[in-house]
A and B are shown apart, each in its own frame.
Chain A
Amino acid sequence: GENVEQHPSTLSVQEGDSAVIKCTYSDSASNYFPWYKQELGKGPQLIIDIRSNVGEKKDQRIAVTLNKTAKHFSLHITETQPEDSAVYFCAASISGNYGQNFVFGPGTRLSVLP
């Protein structure tokens, strides 16, 4: 089955610097890759996603890149701010009996230092 690895497990950056989180997946049939942000004490929230027919997608300070050949995708956050501090999860789609489900990576705890 699908396996999603995520690195690094923790990441500290200075405010204003960039942060990059990388994920790899194993199933070449995966075709949709969302990223979720989880703030302390809350459930995860979708921040950006990408389909397999797209190489890059941007939304303000956040971007995601996908390399289908190498089976890896990355989250890029520029001009980091203290409110970006959270745990970030990548996920890869898998086919279930009734549509798509997801396999999640183990998460990256991002700390933005003021």
Chain B
Amino acid sequence: NAGVTQTPKFRILKIGQSMTLQCAQDMNHNYMYWYRQDPGMGLKLIYYSVGAGITDKGEVPNGYNVSRSTTEDFPLRLELAAPSQTSVYFCASSHSTGFGDEQYFGPGTRLTVT
């Protein structure tokens, strides 16, 4: 199993550009998550999904969009990139949200908006 994979690893965007961060998992997990990690801060939940076609906002959803058309993939779309979106983005997945149901994280995408 590859686990959770993310592409790209690094990206530099100009202000106003758009891009999609890709996330895929091969563990047949129902739940998938997108977090951002700013320097010296914990992970902040952007969006999550409980299955194909079902998504919900997290703590910091503004400026982002998601879709979930398959169990495996959960892309994160940035429209009109802003410097405030400079961060490291982590995708995660879990079987469910029960006790002890571990979230498995991808290696992250480091995004810089200038």
Contact = CB atoms under 8 A, between A and B. Distances in A.
A36 B46 CA distance: 19
Nearest to A101: B45
A46 B42 contact: no
A43 to B, nearest CB: 3
A32 B103 CA distance: 13
Contacts of B100: 49
Contacts of A9: 40
B97 A43 contact: no
Contacts of A98: 48, 50, 54, 56, 97
B87 to A, nearest CB: 14
A107 B40 contact: yes
Interface residues of B, number: 28
Interface stretch (B61-69, B78-86, B105-113): B105-113
B92 interface: yes
A44 B100 CA distance: 15
Interface in A3-61: 4, 6, 9, 32, 34, 41-46, 49, 51
A43 B105 contact: yes
Nearest to A109: B40
Contacts of A73: none
B107 A106 contact: no
Nearest to B48: A101
Contacts of A105: 42
Interface of A: 1, 4, 6, 9, 32, 34, 41-46, 49, 51, 89, 91, 96-107
7 contacts: A41-B107, A43-B105, A97-B56, A100-B98, A101-B33, A102-B43, A106-B42
Question: 10 closest pairs, A vs B, by CB?
Answer: A43-B105, A99-B97, A104-B42, A100-B97, A98-B50, A104-B43, A46-B102, A106-B42, A44-B105, A105-B42
